[in-house]
Amino acid sequence: MKKVVYSVTKLGRTEQKISGIGYVTDRDLITACIGKNGKPYIRVFEDCLKDCFPVNENEFKGEYYELRNMEFTTKYGSKETREVEVDYSIWFKYVK
């Protein structure tokens, strides 16, 4: 694993950005995050490095998406599960 400085932006109606220091394996970006309730957790963006391209010598960026199952409430009060695509913009730079 190599140490990186990263920035991940969740694209959509409202953009949410996380940044900090993380790690890169051969295929994944591993980040440390803090949830809404204040508990820390590890977030892994699986197989995202194949979509990243070099910008400079040690700097990479790219687009990444994942499919999530989300539960929605219909106007009649019943619950429905749908598969939703979530898009991310990823940037990282290796730390020496």
Q: What is the pLDDT of residues 1-43, one digit of tens each?
A: 999 999 999 998 888 899 999 999 999 999 998 888 999 999 9
pTM for the predicted model, two decimal places? 0.80
Domain ranges of the chain: 2-94
- What's the pLDDT band for 96 if we cut at 50, 70, 90? confident
Which residue do the tokens 């790690």 mark?
A: 23
76 contacts: CB under 8 Å, gap ≥ 6: none
Mean pLDDT of 77-86: 91
Determine contact, residues 4/30, Cβ cutoff 8 Å: no
Nearest to 84 by CA among 68, 71, 73, 64: 68
* Measured distance CA(10)–CA(87) in Å, rounded: 6
